[in-house]
Amino acid sequence: MAEVTPSGSGGPIYLTGPAVDGSLQIRGGVGGISFQLEELIGGAEKLDAAADELAAVEVEVRRIWEDLCPYQNEPRPTGTAALMDVGEAQWSVQAVRTELQHISRQVRQCKTDYEAAEAWAGLSRGMGAGLASPDTLARQAADAWLGQVPNREVAELATGPIAMAALLALSPERFFMAIGADLAAGRHIAAAVPLLTGVGGRSISILTPRPVTLERQETLPIEFDGSPAALLERTRVITERGEGYMEVIEVDNGGQKAYVVVVPGTQSAGDDMGGDNPFDEAGIAEGLGHSSAEINKAVLQALQEAGAEKGASVVAVGYSQGGIHAMNLAADERFRNEYDMKYVLTAGSPVGGIPPAAGVSTLQLEHRQDWVPGADATPGPDTRDRVTVTLNQPVRTPEGDDGGLGPGHRLSNYEDGARLVAASDDPSLVASTAVLGGVLGAGGTATATRFALTRSKPPEPQPARGPAPTPMPQPSPQPPPSGGQPAQAAKSTAR
């Protein structure tokens, strides 16, 4: 871009990649490349408008020059010199107009080239390119030394080709349609993941979504400051309350009520997966493969029972599986027809392929050593309203603790990262947390209402029906012998 900046403008224009603030790597938001390109396109439109105005000036100067032509034989100061000066002015205006139009074309081409590069890079990620690159292997080796699990980058790169191969095997037509859609959208083939989970849901009864019932448990006052770390702390609190619970927090922000929906992470069911707890492992399939349809209905009911009026502002927060459900709320048209979803915070969640509605601000926290956010093979999109923060500080599983899904997936790591986010002066994070603060205010006493969710039992399998019995052919009835007596009687009489 340096070579196409206006003459004498004072310096070149540069696009900056993901920002780094200490251990935080920030993608998207007002500091993201997409927003920078949007700003440049806005500048290009202003350049076009200025060039149009200059074109009009150019026409007017040309008219003046033509009007002066009859005076070229007059004394030099009033004739030829004036004619030459006006002609040079026209050429100067023309040169500036041409330069502005050239810069505008170059800026637009820059945006097109960037989008094409992102699309091809996304496709190559989806096909596993880069999985064996030296940098990727080096980072994975370092992270494996801290915890024996793949990191987010490797999980993201490895999942793509698996999903693509399965999609190709299931439906070649949809495979090529998905590639075309992903190229147009500038992302890779994560669309295969919902398809596969949907297929699993149809073939495995425990993964089929079933209605969820809601029961109000208790309402109590809490101290709540509305920060990202405080939101994640509520996911810990509701998890400790018991399996199958969620929470709705009512906040009074200067006389305006806002509501926070708190969704827990996956609660392992062991051998009872697909049982009555909607947040067990089968809930992941419902979230990724069926857009959390049943959970969304339960959240709507919970907000209504908590006293939320139609149109009230809502913030959703979820950890791990809970982040999938929280993001699906922001994409659910039925939910948005009832409430004004303002903000979604996720931590350790595979939500890159879930597009929230326009205008919903989202903050996605991922840890470099956490493979779970990369399990959908889709990085968080770089847009103005969507910020993805990768936490790069090395972590280990505390001595004596269960390793679980790896040290990077621990909720405590994400709470620490959320505090760093709140303290950062990065423009994208400042703007994102300002949206959250505008909805929830400075904090204070709030009201938390807890609900128990229960998944209905699967339908009983129908007994197999055998083939209908075939009736045996019956002999045709014979007429009685003459005299009207039965045949047997006639035989007796004959003896």
- For residue 100, the domain's CATH number is 1.10.287
- Do residues 238 and 110 share a domain? no
HSE toward the beta carbon, residue 230, CA cutoff 13 A = 20
For residues 305 and 385, membership in a common domain is answered with yes
Residues in contact with 411: Cβ distance below 8 Å, sequence separation at least 6, in sequence order: 232, 235, 236, 265, 319, 347, 348
Query: Which pLDDT score, from 0 to 100, does residue 150 have?
Result: 56
> Do 285 and 418 have their domain in common?
yes
Q: What's the pLDDT score for residue 32?
A: 79
pLDDT tens for each residue of 8-38: 555 555 566 678 999 999 999 988 777 777 7
Residue 379 sits in the same domain as residue 267 = yes
My answer on whether 236 and 375 are in the same domain is: yes
Residue with tokens 């009512």: 250
Picking from 126, 148, 175, the residue at the C-terminal end of a domain is: 126
Return the pLDDT at 116: 72
Residues 236 and 108 reside in one and the same domain: no
Reported as a pLDDT band with limits 50, 70 and 90, residue 82 is confident
pLDDT of 124 reads: 55
Query: Domain for residue 487, yes or no?
Result: no
Helix (H) / strand (E) containing 449: strand 444-455
Q: Binning pLDDT at 50, 70 and 90, where does residue 125 land?
A: low
**Coil, strand or helix at 425:** coil
Q: How far is CA 418 from CA 64, 170, 262, 366, in A?
A: 65, 41, 16, 11
Domain shared by 238 and 341, yes or no: yes
* Pick from 62-66, 412-416, 445-449: least confident: 62-66
Residues 215 and 322 in one domain: yes
Highest mean pLDDT among 90-94, 146-150, 204-208: 90-94
Average pLDDT estimate for 460-477: 62
* Same domain, residue pair 206 and 120: no
Domain that holds residue 65: 32-126
Same domain, yes or no: 81 and 219: no
| pLDDT tens per residue across span 432-445 | 999 999 999 988 89
Q: Report pLDDT digits (tens) over 289-328.
A: 889 999 999 999 999 999 999 999 999 999 999 999 999 9
Of 126, 142, 170, the residue at which a domain comes to its end is: 126
* pLDDT recorded at residue 101: 82
Asked if 94 and 243 sit in the same domain, the reply is: no
Q: Which long-range contacts (CB under 8 A, 24 or more apart) does 458-466 make?
A: 458/205, 458/206, 458/208, 458/210, 458/274
Share of residues in the chain with pLDDT > 70 (%): 68
In three state form, how does the secondary structure of 273-297 look? CCCCCCCCCHHHHHHHHHCCHHHHH
Q: What is the mean pLDDT of residues 473-480?
A: 61
Q: Which of 109, 126, 143 is the last residue of a domain?
A: 126
Residue 169 in this model has a pLDDT that exceeds 50: no
User: pLDDT tens digit string along 389-421?
Assistant: 999 998 887 777 766 778 888 999 999 999 999
Burial bucket for residue 221 (CB in 10 Å: 0-12, 13-18, 19+): exposed
Domains in the chain: how many in total? 2
